Amino acid sequence: MLHTVTLALPLLALAASVAARLPDGRLHANMPPLPVLKPFALPINERKQHTRTGAPLPPLNTTYYFDQLIDHNNPSLGTFKQRYWHTWEFYEHGGPIILMTPGEGNADGYTGYLTNSTINGRIAQQENGATIVIEHRYYGLSNPYPDLTVASLKYHTIQQAIEDLVYFADTVKLPMPGGDKVAPGQAPWVLIGGSYSGALTAWTKINKPHTFWAGYASSAVVESITDFWQYFDPIRQFMPKNCSADVEAVIQHWDAVYASGNTSAFNALKDQYGMSDVVHPDDVTGALRNNLWDWQSLSPTTGHNQLFWQFCDALEVKDGKSANASGWGVDHALAAWGTYFKNTYLPQLCGGQDAETCVGTYDASQSEWTSTEVDDANRSWYWIVCNEVGWFQDAAPVGAPSLVSQLLQPSGDEASLSH
């Protein structure tokens, strides 16, 4: 989310058939995609390893289990199994122990973060360290209770997550040779994270300064911001100028039609965008944010044919020519966005679902709000969003340039997310 612009990558697909998912794995199309680190599992032929001295190592994907306290304020509640992955390929006595959680996702599939394909392993390689990837509580299969009901989520807080990292470092007997003699104080522990887990790294260093010798926080989103309209601002500034000018003009037009109170004009717009069945106006204009959320899937390696570029091309290329920096203006852009949204984008976004099911947020009986199975990163993540971090991605203040409709305000997000 915040990670200020580009990071934020899709999360791994999971077995749990929780709810009627969108093709992109989200619960719902009026919720931002999760900002979780990209999974990074090594190909099978690179998973077999040995130490520098030639001693064989277990396969990288070997899963270990740690008995983690359910409630750090009340250890008598008992423990749950927290999954982790670990290697000592580069370890030599005196080297650091490098710990990372991918944060808000199932942590299976992150074994690349054990190896020197990542900064974690590069540090281990250089400093003779060992690496660990640990699954965050309430994600994947690391759950205090067998479901994600509100009662079970009671111990899903950032403070408990911080204390998990500390308790793990203080208590674990690592399965490597000498792994019972590397507690903090005996070996330097280094905590690494990116995006939310980068923030968690920074918060851990401040909140519990004595366990980790160093922290490495990448794209860390350390501030909680309820009305995080600025999420869209770097997109507005750095996307093609013609495209941002036209998006702004189209959104202003939608808002003006809504404000005019002319229901038949608003309905005509909904129809033009393939959302005639969507009941609530904020769900309709909110759905248009999807084209902008696609920005966060861009990275230097993703190439040109990404959804975000397809979107801008749909608005800005007319008869083989693209608009200058001012865009084509609202008349062309409104129609071009409508055609693209209705015929190409929305069907892709929603799969077989009708638009109201896909983008409507008012029906509390939909399975995305009611399903409580574990391994549902979206549900676990939105619990933290609502309770602790906010980061609602809505309209800019009135008067500031906005790519997002004024109908989108944090109060609406809070209402739908707390169904």
- Which residues bind to ligand NAG, rule: CB under 6 A? 10-11, 13-14, 16, 18, 24-26, 33-34, 44, 59, 61-63, 89, 116, 125, 240-243, 262, 264-265, 268, 312-313, 316-317, 322-326, 376-378
For ligand NAG, the closer of residues 208 and 342 by Cβ is 342
383-to-30, 194, 224, 379 alpha-carbon distances in Å: 16, 19, 14, 6
How many CB atoms lie under 10 A from the CB of residue 281? 18
Cβ 209 to ligand NAG shortest distance, Å = 32
CA distance 129 to 126: 8
Cβ 363 to ligand NAG shortest distance, Å = 19
For ligand NAG, the closer of residues 148 and 169 by Cβ is 148
CA distance 391 to 225: 5
Cβ 378 to ligand NAG shortest distance, Å = 4
Cβ 74 to ligand NAG shortest distance, Å = 29
CA distance 75 to 309: 51
Cβ 358 to ligand NAG shortest distance, Å = 14
For ligand NAG, the closer of residues 159 and 272 by Cβ is 272
Helix (H) or strand (E) holding 390: strand 390-392
For ligand NAG, the closer of residues 207 and 237 by Cβ is 237
> 22, 358 in Cβ contact below 8 A?
yes
What are the strands, taking DSSP E only, across 281-344?
Answer: 317-318, 321-322
For ligand NAG, the closer of residues 62 and 367 by Cβ is 62
Amino acid code (one letter) for 183:
A
Cβ 16 to ligand NAG shortest distance, Å = 6
For ligand NAG, the closer of residues 209 and 352 by Cβ is 352
Q: Which two tokens stand for residue 356?
A: 């109201």
Look at residues 370, 367, 364 and name the one whose alpha carbon lies nearest to residue 149. 370
How many CB atoms lie under 10 A from the CB of residue 240? 18
Residue nearest ligand NAG by beta-carbon distance: 25
Look at residues 146, 139, 149, 143 and name the one whose alpha carbon lies nearest to residue 375. 139
Cβ 26 to ligand NAG shortest distance, Å = 5
Cβ 71 to ligand NAG shortest distance, Å = 25
For ligand NAG, the closer of residues 74 and 324 by Cβ is 324
Print burial letters for 101-113: b (CB count within 10 Å at least 16), e (below 16): bbbbbbbbbbbbb
For ligand NAG, the closer of residues 19 and 166 by Cβ is 19
For ligand NAG, the closer of residues 64 and 213 by Cβ is 64
Cβ 3 to ligand NAG shortest distance, Å = 14
Is 16 exposed, middle or buried, given 0-12, 13-18 or 19+ CB atoms closer than 10 A? middle
> 377, 36 in Cβ contact below 8 A?
yes
Is 272 exposed, middle or buried, given 0-12, 13-18 or 19+ CB atoms closer than 10 A? middle
- Which residue shows structure tokens 């974690």? 120
